Amino acid sequence: MSRTRIGRIGDGSRKLDSGSRFEISRSVPVLLPPALALLVALAAASLLVVAYGQSPLHVYRLFLDGTWGNAYGIGQVLFKATPLVFTGLSVALAFHAGLFNVGAEGQLTLGAFATGLVGAALPPATPAAIALPLAVGAGFCAGAAAGAVPGALKAWRGAHEVIVTIMLNFVILAELSDLGKRFYDRESVHTAHVVAGATLARAGAFFPSLRGSALSGAALLAAATAIAVWWLLQRTAAGFRLRAVGLGAEAAATAGISVARQTVIAMALAGGVAGLVGANAVLGYKGYYEEGFAGGVGFMGIAVALLGRNHPGGIVAAALLFGTLSQGGLAINAVVPKEIVEVLQAVIILAVAVSSATVRRQAAQLATGARA
């Protein structure tokens, strides 16, 4: 059996008509779809800019100046990329076990809420060495719980995780807007400020040129998490079991791996990693959990995982790209509507999805001879 690579989100859970379609030899250029997508996006962007009566070159100049052109811009790009690394890894973790996690939005919201509550409930004098792990850990656990529910329903009841995670997003958001109120500061939609020990240091404290940027130690946590996820998946037995289920549930079961157990573990891990977003938004930035802070970061995680080919390194790169887009939107807003960037993000996702499907099909045809 040749070594295979899964090239598409959700394949493992939705077995289709032929096995060969999922097998892509390593020789397929994995960078081709993202590169194509970027070209398409660039063309679409130019079109929208011209339609608005502006010069694309001028807008691109503003875009670059406002993002990678100065220290503050770089800091903001990294700040905006940080949550996307967590949600991208979350989607990828589930994906490697053959599952599709559309629930990162709800998981990260519940996680950040827990992070905010624990961070604020600690005694004011708690040292950082205790407060940070507790607050971050609470986020991980709450996110993991939110992920384990669809995992368990899938494992033992066969309920499709895509539907359950979509529904659970809304349940969590709606219930938090209701029950969460009891924990909010008076006349506000946010929880109390976390204790000093639970705040993550801003980058500006170490690098004066980054002062004013919201970049914090959470970016380091994101990088460390990416490395940890890579290590888990590629270097540990637990990660191998997870991937074995994703590559072929029946074969994994034959080899004595409990598919149900791996399903729950994968979804819990995915939820937990999404739950780390609170470190960035709560501990590193606002200092409290605020209603509606997520703003689609969970859904963008799907795009990040797709663009990053579900590889932690690729995910970091994709998160940086989407972080750049999001920060760049603000930089160009004076000249063209920043909504152009939202359109672009969607175009990139569509283009990557289409081009990876096409590349995968052609690779399958090459591998098996001309299949119809």
- Applying CB under 8 A, which residues contact another protein? 8-10, 14, 16-17, 48, 51-52, 100, 102, 153, 157-160, 162-164, 166-168, 170-171, 174-179, 296, 299, 302-303, 306, 337, 339-347, 349-350, 353-354, 356-358, 361
Cβ at position 49, least distance to another protein in Å: 11
In whole angstroms, what is the distance from residue 127 CA to residue 107 CA? 27
In whole angstroms, what is the distance from residue 113 CA to residue 119 CA? 10
Shorter beta-carbon distance to another protein: residue 4 or 196: 4
Cβ at position 212, least distance to another protein in Å: 25
Instruction: Look up residue 92 and give its DSSP letter.
Output: H
Shorter beta-carbon distance to another protein: residue 61 or 160: 160
Radius of gyration of the chain (CA): 21
List of residues 6+ apart from 45 with CB closer than 8 A: 56, 340, 344
Shorter beta-carbon distance to another protein: residue 153 or 245: 153
Shorter beta-carbon distance to another protein: residue 133 or 337: 337
In whole angstroms, what is the distance from residue 168 CA to residue 108 CA? 12
Shorter beta-carbon distance to another protein: residue 70 or 177: 177
In whole angstroms, what is the distance from residue 159 CA to residue 170 CA? 17
List of residues 6+ apart from 338 with CB closer than 8 A: 329, 330, 332
Shorter beta-carbon distance to another protein: residue 177 or 234: 177
3-state helix, strand, coil in the chain (%, to 5): 70, 0, 25
Cβ at position 283, least distance to another protein in Å: 25
In whole angstroms, what is the distance from residue 206 CA to residue 135 CA? 23
Closest by Cα among 220, 207, 280, 212 to 72:
212
In whole angstroms, what is the distance from residue 274 CA to residue 265 CA? 14
Closest by Cα among 270, 269, 340, 333 to 301:
270
Cβ at position 333, least distance to another protein in Å: 10
Shorter beta-carbon distance to another protein: residue 235 or 371: 371
Cβ at position 139, least distance to another protein in Å: 21
Cβ at position 162, least distance to another protein in Å: 6
Cβ at position 350, least distance to another protein in Å: 5
